[in-house]
Amino acid sequence: MKKKVTRIGVLTSGGDSPGMNAAIRAVVRTGIYHGLEVFGVMRGYAGMIDNDIFRMDSRSVANIIQRGGTILKTARSDEFRTPEGRTKAYNNLKSHGIDGLVVIGGDGSFNGAQRLSNEHDIPCIGIPGTIDRDIAGTDVTIGFDTAVNTAVQAIDKIRDTMDAHDRVFVVEVMGRDAGYIALHSGIATGAENIIIPETRTDIDDMIASLDEKEKRRKLVNLIVVAEGGEYGDANEIGKIIKARIPEADTRVCILGHIQRGGSPTCEDRVVASHMGYYAVESLLCGRHNVMVGVIKGKIHYTPLDKVVKEKHSIGQEWMKIVKILAS
């Protein structure tokens, strides 16, 4: 017989992503609609350990759907990685009568949720909130669409000045372990080369291609690099190009944290709202310890233990497309 959930907590953990506030709003208002009491946990698992937990109502989430970041904030917690820390966190949840938890974050956040649930028998539902879009079990993650559009807008501006001066530009986007932002923004902006962690880059082939284009006076060349590329960051790639093709006017630009901020796109707001609603519905119907994802436009549930073990992979055909379109 499944336990009835009456009080739920919601938290955001890991890196922030645009659309998290929309997900929080959906969880709170769906929970209240079904007669649940909803509690916000500040600063992720760190706030859970510090008992930084408060009651939320519909007004708590008014006027936040358009805001980037997260009103619940986020932080790392080394203490939560320990069994003692998780026990302390659970006891704080228990003191508020919380008997269900919605965790908005990435695979590291889901790993923490799975451990907490396994050790203390509290049902957890995950919502994928990460700009990297590297979570298994879903085609979309909250924040990716906003982040990649921010990158595209910035690169378009860089292309204008790059074209005016006939320059080679190496632009670094976020993605230490995943190249989705680099891949999508690179294709969308006509990059000649895209360097991502998932594929091996033939640096000699890239230099030869740039050198050949330089000789036929194709002087404007864009290289988009994910920060976790095998040759290092954009600065290292820039140094290699300058050393091998000294006649090229090569510049480096690191986009950085502007990709995390800003008002979420319509896509991210809708996806977050959709997932937040179904996260609460899952707790109510007894579907526990799963992540709510979207596959081929439909809600899909993946066990948390599977999510933390697998990674979303980039197909090799994408890199073939990049090479053909940049020729």
* pLDDT (tens digit per residue) in 268-326: 999 999 999 999 999 999 988 999 999 999 999 999 999 988 877 776 777 788 778 76
Question: Do 149 and 136 fall within a single domain?
Answer: no
Q: What's 173's domain CATH number?
A: 3.40.50.460
**Position 135 in a domain:** yes
- Asked about 132 being catalytic, the answer comes back as yes
Q: Give the active site residue among 99, 107, 132, 145.
A: 132
Question: Do 156 and 204 fall within a single domain?
Answer: yes
Question: Do 87 and 75 fall within a single domain?
Answer: yes
Question: Do 77 and 49 fall within a single domain?
Answer: yes
Domain span at residue 228 reads 145-260
* pLDDT (tens digit per residue) in 192-247: 889 888 887 788 888 888 887 776 666 678 999 998 767 778 999 999 989 998 88
DSSP letter (8 states) at residue 199: S
Question: Do 191 and 247 fall within a single domain?
Answer: yes
Question: Do 252 and 268 fall within a single domain?
Answer: no
Q: How far apart are CA 256 and CA 135, in angstroms?
A: 21
State pTM to two decimals.
Answer: 0.93
Question: Do 187 and 89 fall within a single domain?
Answer: no
DSSP E strands in the chain: the ranges are 7-12, 37-41, 53-56, 100-105, 124-128, 168-173, 193-195, 221-226, 250-254, 290-295, 298-303
Q: What's 99's domain CATH number?
A: 3.40.50.450
* pLDDT (tens digit per residue) in 7-37: 999 999 999 999 999 999 999 999 999 999 9
Question: Do 124 and 268 fall within a single domain?
Answer: yes
Question: Do 251 and 293 fall within a single domain?
Answer: no
Q: Is 10 helix (H, G, I), strand (E, B) or coil?
A: strand
